[in-house]
Amino acid sequence: MTDSFSNLSLAPTLARAVAEMGYESMTPIQAQAIPVVLTGQDVMGAAQTGTGKTAAFSLPLLQRLLKHENPSTSPARHPVRALVLLPTRELADQVAQQIKMYAKYTQLRSTVVFGGIDMKPQTLELKKGVEVLVATPGRLLDHIEAKNAVLNQVEYVVLDEADRMLDIGFLPDLQRILSYLPKQRTTLLFSATFSPEIKRLAGSYLQNPVTIEVARPNETASTVEQRFYAAQDDDKRRVIRKVLDDRGIKQAFIFVNSKLGCARLARSLEREGLKTTALHGDKSQDERLKALEAFKQGEVDLLVCTDVAARGLDIKDVPAVFNFDVPYNAEDYVHRIGRTGRAGASGLAVTLVSPSDARLVGDIEKLIKKKLEVETLQLDTAPAGPAPEKWGARSEDRPRARASESRRRDDSDPRDALESPRERRGGFRPAPINRDPFFSKPYEAPPADVSPSWDAVPKAPRSSISANIKPKRKVAALFKSEE
Ligand code: AMP
């Protein structure tokens, strides 16, 4: 936090909305980007979700659009002036909700369109006229083709989470969309990393952009101890148990790649007697908040979550992070392990690697520019996996979120497939107006007398075992923690 919003001379309608949000001062990306965007220059910003970047681009953009605000009911008086593109429904919806809140005292209209749901209600909104359109690329193209969205009066375009859009294979869609926009416009590009592809995209579509970088997202904190353990899927829970026991860790986040896997793993751990909760896209915002509060209170020791669910929730500083699945995108690895080892505290990040993950581990190595060693953790019985030397092999057979198809519609967006927008189908669920101070506080360990659930788990076999455990496997071995 560096600066006060009052220095910006925002219009009273915007300043009032900001004050209502409870923001006291600008975040670093806001302090740097808002003045630049107010001048109408192009921006290339390195910032992740959670840094306040939505306000960083939307407040100045709304301020510049105020000259167009009018009370007319005629759609012709409300053409699309600003277009915000995002890779997933979840993110598009979040950003659209924020923009709605910032614009609530203005006469500027905004809406969001994304795939996977009926086009009709979106069409009705578009036909009424909106100044700010938030969209995922595939669905936007559908609306353009259906002549529901006309973009020839766009003055601002925001490519948010641009690295993810390229990862998903949206480049051809982006190129088409950008071809419909006037050449004379302001383009803002935000990305967690400035990869060569992102630089190429910026080179083609941005004019003399001002580069703003608030964090070095490719860097992992030196306070995080990073471990990679070879583990077959069936052995992964045992590895987690062993690390928790050996290190005396009280609480941890466990990341998985799909919401199905998330729910399944949480259930298995729960059945094994570990106090666990799941956070994924099928949980309502309310359920997510309750789960986090339970974690914070020490009522829950393990929080199993997907990337998108965890990204929306601003919780940091847990003692350990496990990657039950190696993330499909190396950037997600950096995001995930950034949850631990903050503010000088030491943290542990354990990634469980199966043989087919070698290529993904290679991607992480490249991104963080560090040679990673996949170790074999001695469990009580030999792991079911192949000999350790196999772990170094580069595997090409794993399906990846990265898609090379020329055109990928939102409906088949792999990220969307991981996170359904179900909780929002009934319409907007406004985000809490004031940020819950819980999210701004660093992690605090629960009271010392609260011991983690794994301490209390009997080391003997339990009657209700996970359906995922192979019947032949000795269940008792799963609970042994002593060497
Ligand atoms: P974003 O990175 O845009 O997704 O924002 C992450 C969260 O930070 C959202 O819940 C915002 O409401 C909140 N936020 C944005 N700007 C500020 C600020 N200046 N002060 C406090 N919270 C903020």
What is the structure's pLDDT at 368?
85
Ligand 1 nearest-atom number relative to CA 26: 19
Structural domains of the chain, ranges and CATH numbers in brackets: 5-213 (3.40.50.300), 224-376 (3.40.50.300)
Query: Which of the two residues, 262 and 279, has the higher pLDDT score?
Result: 262
Q: Would you place residue 167 in the very low, low, confident or very high pLDDT band (cuts 50, 70, 90)?
A: confident
Q: How many CA atoms lie within 13 A of 40 on its CB side?
A: 5
Ligand 1 nearest-atom number relative to CA 23: 20
For ligand 1, whether the C-beta of 311 sits within 6 Å is: no
Q: Minimum mean pLDDT among 209-218, 367-376, 391-400: which range?
A: 391-400
For ligand 1, whether the C-beta of 361 sits within 6 Å is: no
Residue 279 predicted with pLDDT over 90: no
Query: Which of the two residues, 103 and 421, has the higher pLDDT score?
Result: 103
Q: Would you place residue 310 in the very low, low, confident or very high pLDDT band (cuts 50, 70, 90)?
A: low
108: which residues sit within 8 A by CB, 6+ positions away? 62, 65, 66, 68, 69, 131, 132
**If you measure from the C-alpha of residue 55 to the centroid of ligand 1, how many angstroms do you get, rounded to a whole number?**
7
Ligand 1 nearest-atom number relative to CA 5: 19
Neighbours of 366 (CB within 10 A): 11
**If you measure from the C-alpha of residue 106 to the centroid of ligand 1, how many angstroms do you get, rounded to a whole number?**
20
Q: What is the mean pLDDT of residues 20-46?
A: 92
**If you measure from the C-alpha of residue 222 to the centroid of ligand 1, how many angstroms do you get, rounded to a whole number?**
26
Q: Minimum mean pLDDT among 63-72, 127-136, 228-237, 342-351: which range?
A: 342-351
Q: Write down the mean pLDDT value for the chain.
A: 78
The C-alpha angle 159, 162, 168, rounded to 5 degrees, equals 125
**If you measure from the C-alpha of residue 27 to the centroid of ligand 1, how many angstroms do you get, rounded to a whole number?**
8
What is the structure's pLDDT at 453?
62
Residue 422 predicted with pLDDT over 60: no
**If you measure from the C-alpha of residue 50 to the centroid of ligand 1, how many angstroms do you get, rounded to a whole number?**
6
Q: What is the mean pLDDT of residues 174-196?
A: 93
3-state SS, one letter per residue, for the chain:
CCEEHHHHCCCHHHHHHHHHHCCCEECHHHHHHHHHHHCCCCEEEECCCCCCHHHHHHHHHHHHHHHHCCCCCCHHHCCCCEEEECCCHHHHHHHHHHHHHHCCCCCCCEEEECCCCCCHHHHHHHHHCCCEEEECHHHHHHHHHCCCCCCCCCCEEEECCHHHHHHHCCHHHHHHHHHCCCCCCEEEEEECCCCHHHHHHHHHHCCCCEEEECCCCCCCCCCEEEEEEECCHHHHHHHHHHHHHHHCCCCEEEECCCHHHHHHHHHHHHHCCCCEEEECCCCCHHHHHHHHHHHHCCCCCEEEECHHHHHHCCCCCECEEEECCCCCCHHHHHHHHCCECCCCCCEEEEEEECHHHHHHHHHHHHHHCCCCCEECCCCCCCCCCCCHHHHHCCCCCCCCCCCCCCCCCHHHCHHHHHCCCHHHCCCCCCCCCCCCHHHHCCCCCCCCCCCCHHHHCCCCCCCCCCCCCCCCCCHHHHHCCCC
**If you measure from the C-alpha of residue 160 to the centroid of ligand 1, how many angstroms do you get, rounded to a whole number?**
15
Residue 448, both tokens: 């010392």
Distance of CA 51 to the CA centre of its chain: 12
What is the structure's pLDDT at 474?
37
For ligand 1, whether the C-beta of 58 sits within 6 Å is: no
Query: Which of the two residues, 445 and 274, has the higher pLDDT score?
Result: 274
Residues 332-358 as b or e (16 or more Cβ within 10 Å = b): bbbbbbbbbbbeeeebbbbbbbbbebb
For ligand 1, whether the C-beta of 23 sits within 6 Å is: yes
What is the structure's pLDDT at 313?
52
Q: Whose CA is nearest to atom 16 of ligand 1?
A: 52
Rounded Cα–Cα distance for residues 361 and 351 (Å): 9
Q: With pLDDT > 90 as the criterion, what percentage of the chain qualifies? A: 48
**If you measure from the C-alpha of residue 245 to the centroid of ligand 1, how many angstroms do you get, rounded to a whole number?**
37
What is the structure's pLDDT at 331?
82
Q: Minimum mean pLDDT among 39-43, 92-96, 338-342, 382-386: which range?
A: 382-386
* Count of residues making up the chain: 483
Q: Minimum mean pLDDT among 188-197, 243-252, 366-375, 470-479: which range?
A: 470-479
For ligand 1, whether the C-beta of 55 sits within 6 Å is: yes
Q: What is the mean pLDDT of residues 48-63?
A: 89
Q: Whose CA is nearest to atom 6 of ligand 1?
A: 50
Q: Whose CA is nearest to atom 11 of ligand 1?
A: 52
Q: Which of 7, 21, 59 to mutate to test the pocket of ligand 1 (most atoms within 8 A of CB)?
A: 21
**If you measure from the C-alpha of residue 431 to the centroid of ligand 1, how many angstroms do you get, rounded to a whole number?**
11
pLDDT digits (tens, 9 = 90+) for 372-395: 899 988 887 544 444 333 333 222
What is the structure's pLDDT at 194?
85
Q: Whose CA is nearest to atom 18 of ligand 1?
A: 23
The radius of gyration computed from the CA coordinates of the chain, to the nearest angstrom, equals 23
Ligand 1 nearest-atom number relative to CA 48: 2
Q: Whose CA is nearest to atom 12 of ligand 1?
A: 435
